[in-house]
Amino acid sequence: MTEPQPLKTVEIHSVPLHLGTKEFNIFCVVEEDRSSIDFRHLETFCRVARRKSFTKAAEDLCLTQPTVSGHILLLERSLSLRLFDRTGREVRLTKAGEVFHRHASKILTFRKEALNALTEFSQGIKGELSLGASTIPGEYLLPKLIGGFKKEHPQFTISLKIADTREVVQDVLEGRVELGMTGARLNQDHLHYELFQEDHIIVIGPSSPGSSPRQRISWDQLPGASWIIREEGSGTRMAVEKALRRKGKNLKQLDVMMEMGSTSSVKEGVRAGLGFAFISEIAVAEELKQGTLSRVDVEGIGPISRQIYIVSRRGTTVSPMGVEFLRFLKKSSKETQGGN
């Protein structure tokens, strides 16, 4: 007598499809097997959760919107839970969805680690390495480092996500990226920080023809000037706020006319004469050399030292590619320090 097979159900679902400003309903047949959850469905679920959109998730995964919707429907019916609240064109995780998302992210991370580890034995070290970085290391340090690393390991595929420090740390914690590089440390028990390089935050101002490439003023002269600062959550801003507190000062004493979400926009704002700014010395090295921006020495403040860290999650096995990249970073760090 043969063993009974897991029951499957076939249902017809109406799925919304957006084309331009119009919305159509497409009817799709969904065959449901309640005995298992497919990794593809987990990947789709996590991508929809991140992008907050079925359409954007479908574009990222090179799937049709009905397919993405079908994956989510299967998950929700398998779990007998609603995972998303659909409000217009944006979707948000329900409370149950938030719980499931934490575990689904871990499952996909463990799967990726297992496949990477097995690949090392069957094909040598190769695969994909996901990195996250805050603005300064992401825009001014890692591109060159990744280029050098790729010359030594052309078989590696590397993805780099640039965000503010808080988001990078969260991505590391939730396994969306394996390694991060940030300009500040956040107190998290599950994170491991390793010093990579030192940076300095300086004050810059606009440059004009015939002006000195380096100015010197007192702190008392600054409150009357306009300022451009980075957004909350950036490593640069956190380092500035910490340094000013030690001097009994704070950003509220300054006339902040705007907050910018990137270092490039801060530089453009200063170049346009909109005000002064605190900024990484690494980020403006070329502009200071060319004289398109001027350095401003502030009496009683001085350059603000801060560290660039490599951040990883404690208790997580680093993939063979991650180990190789860390080895390369440490070698590059020693060479840089030796050059200084």
pLDDT for position 212: 61
* Parent domain of 51: 8-105
Domain match, 227 and 276 both:
yes
**The total number of structural domains that make up the chain:** 2
pLDDT over threshold 70, residue 6: no
pLDDT over threshold 70, residue 137: yes
pLDDT tens sequence across 284-316: 999 998 889 999 888 877 778 889 999 999 888
Domain CATH for 27: 1.10.10.10
Taking each helix axis as running N to C, give the angle between helix 39-51 and helix 95-123, from 0 to 180 degrees, rounded to the nearest 10.
120
pLDDT tens sequence across 87-96: 777 889 999 9
Asked if residues 53 and 73 have their Cβ atoms less than 8 Å apart, the reply is no
Q: Which of 65-74, 114-123, 157-166, 218-227 has the lowest mean pLDDT?
A: 114-123
CA distance 233 to 166: 6
Cα 213–chain centre separation: 34
Domain match, 90 and 134 both:
no
pLDDT for position 204: 92
Mean pLDDT of 313-340: 80
Bigger pLDDT: 252 vs 127: 252
pLDDT over threshold 80, residue 208: no
Domain CATH for 153: 3.40.190.290
Mean pLDDT of all residues belonging to the chain: 81
pLDDT tens sequence across 109-125: 778 767 766 665 555 55
pLDDT over threshold 50, residue 8: no
pLDDT over threshold 50, residue 13: no
pLDDT for position 125: 57
Domain match, 311 and 180 both:
yes
Domain match, 252 and 295 both:
yes
pLDDT tens sequence across 38-81: 888 888 998 899 888 888 888 888 888 889 888 888 888 888 88
123 lies in some domain = no
Domain match, 25 and 163 both:
no
Domain match, 87 and 136 both:
no
Bigger pLDDT: 213 vs 279: 279
pLDDT for position 4: 41
Asked if residues 241 and 250 have their Cβ atoms less than 8 Å apart, the reply is yes
pLDDT over threshold 70, residue 209: no
Q: Which of 54-63, 209-218, 270-279 has the lowest mean pLDDT?
A: 209-218
pLDDT for position 118: 66
Residue 200 phi, psi (nearest 5): -125, 140
Domain match, 209 and 271 both:
yes
Q: How confident is the model at residue 34 (pLDDT cuts 50, 70, 90)?
A: very low
110 lies in some domain = no
- Cα–Cα distances (Å) from 51 to 41, 48, 59, 93, 143, in that order, read 15, 5, 10, 11, 25
143 lies in some domain = yes
CA distance 181 to 50: 21
CA distance 293 to 286: 9
Joined together, the tokens standing for residue 225 give 């000037």
112 lies in some domain = no
CA distance 97 to 84: 6
89 lies in some domain = yes
For every residue of 303-320, DSSP letters joined together read: PEEEEEEEEEETT-PPPH
How many CB atoms neighbour CB 131 within 10 A? 25
Asked if residues 226 and 255 have their Cβ atoms less than 8 Å apart, the reply is yes
Bridge partners (DSSP) of residue 156 are 127
Bigger pLDDT: 13 vs 245: 245
pLDDT for position 10: 46
Give residues with Cβ within 8 angstroms of 140, minimum separation 6.
263, 280, 282, 283
DSSP type of residue 140: I
pLDDT for position 256: 86
How many CB atoms neighbour CB 258 within 10 A? 14
Domain match, 93 and 132 both:
no
Which residue is listed with tokens 């094909």? Answer: 123
1 lies in some domain = no
Domain match, 157 and 41 both:
no
pLDDT over threshold 70, residue 242: yes
Domain match, 316 and 211 both:
yes
14 lies in some domain = yes
- Cα–Cα distances (Å) from 43 to 46, 96, 116, 270, in that order, read 5, 17, 17, 42
Mean pLDDT of 140-147: 93
pLDDT for position 309: 94
340 lies in some domain = yes
Domain match, 180 and 88 both:
no
Q: Which of 119-123, 196-200, 250-254 has the lowest mean pLDDT?
A: 119-123
Domain end point (choices 51, 73, 105): 105
Domain match, 133 and 74 both:
no
CA torsion sign for 66, 72, 77, 83 is: negative
127-133/179-182 β-pairing: parallel
Q: What b-and-e string marks burial along 196-219, b requiring 16 or more CB atoms within 10 Å of the CB?
A: bbebebbbbbbbeeeeeeebeeee
